[in-house]
Structure 1
């Protein structure tokens, strides 16, 4: 069977392999834009017990999570940035643990007075999950593959 592709089609490199963005291999850090830095810092440090990596300013706090960094920041990169509206979540974060740790995390959250959106639940797609919100309303998931 004869190849039906033209010389132009076969000599054209794949757009994805030519892109300089193909060098990206991982997310290095994630930033949560916060409304209430004190409440968010207390939640991530005291409730979730994330290890403080560094505080670059009162408006930028970093936590070390494995090979990644989670930063809490007040929006301020441009003068035109508006504050995040109340009642809107900025993102969802999922934290992977073992199946037993999902339950232990749920117990600790309840002990700390944090309301759960859903208790530890085995999902049909093979995860054990629990969901909660941080003080700014962002959706947090603690999950395990089961």
Structure 2
């Protein structure tokens, strides 16, 4: 059976990104080693890797913030939005109710990856 084992983002400044995902997002920081930092994300390993070191893995350079989104489930998205704004984090959108059953707020991490904080709410739209 296939399963996702890791989600790794290639970042420009590892220290700054560790601070963002630890202090802003609220993930439990585990360790940093050789340009790699890992967090406890509740079942899937979430990690950051220095973009400048990624070429030896990928065979070429990687683009910063080239698409993608990290979704973090929270109990109270409005409280999260207030905390983000109080911490000086620029909110891209929200909080807003989405028809698929989430109330969301979006921010960008230091490399431009979109981070969505989502709270489950009743769905307004049924799946087809």
TM range (shorter): 0.7 to 0.9
| 8 Å CA contact 2:10, 2:62 repeated in 1 | no
Partner SS state of residue 40, structure 1: helix
* Structure 1 residue 139 displacement after superposition: 0.8
Residue pairs, 1:1-146, within 5 angstroms: 23-24=1-2, 26-57=3-34, 59-74=35-50, 75-78=54-57, 80-85=59-64, 88-98=65-75, 101-146=76-121
* Structure 1 residue 73 displacement after superposition: 0.2
Query: Aligned pair in 2 of structure 1 residues 80, 111: CA closer, same or farther (>3 Å)?
Result: same
TM-score norm. by structure 2 comes to 0.81
Identify, as 1 or 2, the structure richer in strand. Answer: 2
For structure 2, the residue ranges without an aligned partner over 5 or more in a row are: 122-128
Aligned pairs, how many? 118
* Structure 1 residue 79 displacement after superposition: 7.6
Partner SS state of residue 27, structure 1: coil
TM-score norm. by structure 1 comes to 0.72
Cα distance in 2 for residues equivalent to 1:66 and 1:32: 17
* Structure 1 residue 140 displacement after superposition: 0.9
Q: RMSD between aligned alpha carbons?
A: 1.8
Larger of the two Rg values belongs to structure: 1
**Runs of 4+ with >3 A deviation:** 76-80
For structure 1, the residue ranges without an aligned partner over 5 or more in a row are: 1-22
